[in-house]
Amino acid sequence: MVEQKSNATRTQGPVRIVGAGLLGASLGLALREKGVEVILDDASPSNLRLAVDYGAGRLPAAGDAPRLVIVCVPPDVVADAVERALADYPDAVVTDVASVKLAPLRTLEARGIDLTRYIGSHPMAGRERGGAISARADLFFGRPWVICRDEETRREDLALIEAVALDVGGVLIEMTPEEHDASVGLVSHLPQLVSSLLAAGLADAPDTAIQLAGQGLRDTTRLASSAPELWLQILAANSGPVVEALEAMIARLGAVTDALRDPDAPGARRAVADAMAAGNSGVARIPGKHGQSQRFATIVVMVDDTPGQLGRLLTELGEINVNMEDLRLEHSPGAQIGLAEIAVLPEVKQRTIEDLGARGWRIASV
């Protein structure tokens, strides 16, 4: 069947995607939705067939001449895959989506590879579960897509990668490889380690303690479900920035620990309060749904644990013309209710509470 391309599509195929895991298959699904021809390849025939079955692209064929090759493989083999793509497709631009940019670049430079047609990039998107089975066409929507070009990058080559990022809903950001690796060390790699180390403390915790776990613990340990083998590669490849971020966190933890050893000592309570206030300031800088550094107001609604109740709440939010910026659900063990924590713009918070209350919804906290 011939795929029809939308007039709004920027990407000119065919696009070859090397690596049919979560990112590769998600890219394939997103581009196929736009009518772009996608060629998939993977070192594992089973992974490749699965991604093809999900509709992320087609199998390679003799005579394929992609305009763009996107390498979506684990960090320790990125340089090899990029080198192979540059050699196999001399008329194609090659990019990769690895979460570390400097190490593969240095490896390729050391090999003396002509990197004129290579442009490193990184979509800040992912899930705790990997593989094509977890792929989603909307994985990149609203997410930053970093592009690391240099003075040798040709405008027409850069446009190919920008087109893909924009077509799948990404937000373009330019950085040097050094800036990128330092940034992801702080906002991505450090959180993964903190989440994993926090969750590691639960492994031998008594059942009585685990039974008290609430949404706060679930939120802070969500990343701990990630694959250790993949993260070992990422952390090793970006060890310098990660160590720097860890040492800064260790210093902050040490200051709080010292203060709590003797909470009545002069300045101890202020040290703890200052640390918590700094956390308030930091979280306020995290971009919202549309990329603004804006904090939202929170409304917690009690939802009966019966079919259709959450759907009714979302429908009625639309009826009262309120845009929900975020949603988190918490279930109380043994109770027949759930708590829906809704984020809205501060200026509509009070009206939302009043309108939902008039429709019979119980507001747990405001």
Question: 114 or 293: which carries more pLDDT confidence?
Answer: 114
pLDDT for 289 equals 52
Residue 5 is predicted with a pLDDT of 43
Q: Residue 31: pLDDT above 60?
A: yes
222-243 pLDDT, tens digit each: 999 888 998 999 999 999 999 9
Confidence of residue 333 (pLDDT cuts 50, 70, 90): low
Asked whether the predicted pLDDT for residue 286 surpasses 60, the reply is: yes
Give the burial class of 288: count Cβ atoms within 10 A of its Cβ; 0-12 exposed, 13-18 middle, 19 or more buried. middle
Nearest-angstrom CA–CA distance, 352 and 357: 8
Residue 223 vs residues 228, 231, 298, 317, 350: alpha-carbon distances, Å:
11, 11, 23, 30, 33
Count CA atoms closer than 13 A to 46's CA, side-chain side: 2
pLDDT at 295: 66
Mean pLDDT of 23-29: 96
Q: If pLDDT is split at 50, 70 and 90, which confidence band does 330 have?
A: confident
89: Cβ–Cβ under 8 A, 6 or more apart, which residues? 16, 65, 66, 69
Look up residue 103 and give its two tokens. Answer: 């190490």
Is the pLDDT confidence value at 202 over 80? Answer: yes
Contact criterion met (CB below 8 Å) for 18 and 71: yes
Give the chain's mean pLDDT.
90
Show the tokens assigned to 127.
């899930």
Residue 247: count other Cβ atoms within 10 Å of its Cβ: 9
Contacts of 319 (CB under 8 A, 6+ apart): none
Can you name the residues that pair with 341 across neighbouring β-strands? 300, 328
**What region, left, alpha or beta, does residue 321 occupy, with left being phi > 0 and alpha being psi -120 to 50 degrees?**
left
Q: For the whole model, what pTM was predicted?
A: 0.78
> Nearest-5° angle of CA 165, CA 96, CA 36?
45
Residue type at position 24:
G
Chain mean position to CA 285: 17
- Average pLDDT of the segment spanning 90-104: 96
Q: Given this model, what pLDDT does residue 6 score?
A: 44
pLDDT at 13 over 90: no
CB 14 within 8 A of CB 31: no
Structural domains for the chain = 15-175 (3.40.50.720), 182-261 (1.10.3660.10), 297-365 (3.30.70.260)
Taking Cα atoms as reference points, which of 53, 222, 38 lies closest to residue 132? 53
Cα-Cα-Cα-Cα torsion 9, 15, 17, 23, nearest 10 degrees, comes to -10
Rounded mean pLDDT of 120-127?
A: 91
Q: Which of 125, 122, 158, 137 is nearest to 36 (CA)?
A: 137
